[in-house]
Amino acid sequence: MTLPATPAQIAGVMMILSGMTHATVNALFKSGGSDKLAGRAMIDGSAALLVLPLAFFVPWPAGAWVWLAASAATHMVYLSFLIRAFAVADMSAVYPVMRGSAPVIAALGSVAVLGDAMTPTIALGIACVCAGTVLVAARNAPPLHALGWALATGAAIAAYTVIDARGVRAAPATISYVVWDFILCGAGIGGFFAARRRRDFVHAARTQWRVGLIAGSLSILSYGLALGAYRLGNLARLAALRETSIVFGLVIAAVFLRERVNMARAAGGAMIAAGAAVLIILG
């Protein structure tokens, strides 16, 4: 007789699916047009427009407005850093650094802010993920200025992760927080980047709207899954599981972006997968 999956196991699977989808969004963003600000405005604006009709049907996110505002502001900082990192180095060089540095910071934040437990098993899984990340980045370490942007992006990821985990737990329903998070981020971030690019944004809207719509849809799926998982389980464990996106990112970078993936990166990817297995099975 097969035992039913526990909420923790369901949350773990949701995070792996989220990581896979997230890597796809970043690959679409990286391989898009040369104007990254306009491209990002297209993605976030598309996501906001797609969820906007749901705002009339989901519960009002009472109790979560402060966290929604903080999330939108932190996402603005994150995307500014992300754009800069992608502009100065390959995705396969900076992506592992930004995603791999986030779980440790997020884990500390989850214990301090949310009161989540840090068990030896969770610590082991996080350590495997972070060690794998070091291996992935070691043979193609980004230049110093790109490394700084990548680490800053990782810190911003950790910040919005803790903020959103707190916010989604305060909201009356996960869907409420998901919808309003994308509306606020899309209106704020998409509007700001579009205003900065003006004519360039209009050109990007005409030429990249299909990619923007696809990436925006995948962004909703990716972060919607993550927010749903945060409501179900331990954030320290789940933040590390989402970094399986590094493994998917390596595959995408090698197969579709034609970037070189050496043995060290492959070994790092395997270690990240091993850490994920520890967190799923034992965490």
Spatial CA neighbour of 129 closest among 248, 205, 233, 239: 239
193 pLDDT more than 90: no
Q: From CA 106, how far away is CA 282, in angstroms rounded?
A: 20
- For residue 13, being part of any structural domain is answered with no
- Supply the range of the domain harboring residue 69: 29-281
Residues 6+ apart with CB under 8 A from 88: 94, 142, 143, 145, 146, 149
Does residue 79 lie within any of the structural domains?
A: yes
* Cα–Cα distance, 99 to 243 (Å, whole number): 6
Q: What is the pLDDT of residues 217-238, one digit of tens each?
A: 999 999 999 999 998 888 888 8
Tell me, what's the pLDDT at 278?
78
The residue among 283 and 24 whose pLDDT is bigger is: 24
Give pLDDT tens digits for 269-278: 778 878 777 7
Residues 184-202: what's their mean pLDDT? 75
pLDDT band, very low/low/confident/very high, at 70 (cuts 50, 70, 90): very high
Distance CA 115, CA 122 (A): 15
Give the mean pLDDT of 233-251. 78
Q: What is the count of structural domains for the chain? A: 1
Write the CA distances from 61 to 108, 172, 276, integer angstroms.
27, 6, 32
* pLDDT digit string, tens, across residues 112-155: 777 777 888 888 888 888 788 777 766 666 777 788 888 899 89
Nearest to 23 by CA among 233, 235, 269, 222: 222
Residue 197's pLDDT is 66
pLDDT in tens, 26-64: 777 766 666 666 777 778 888 999 999 999 999 999 889
Flag whether 193 is in a domain.
yes
Q: For residue 4, is it within any domain?
A: no
- Judge whether 101 lies within some domain: yes
Single pTM value for the model: 0.81
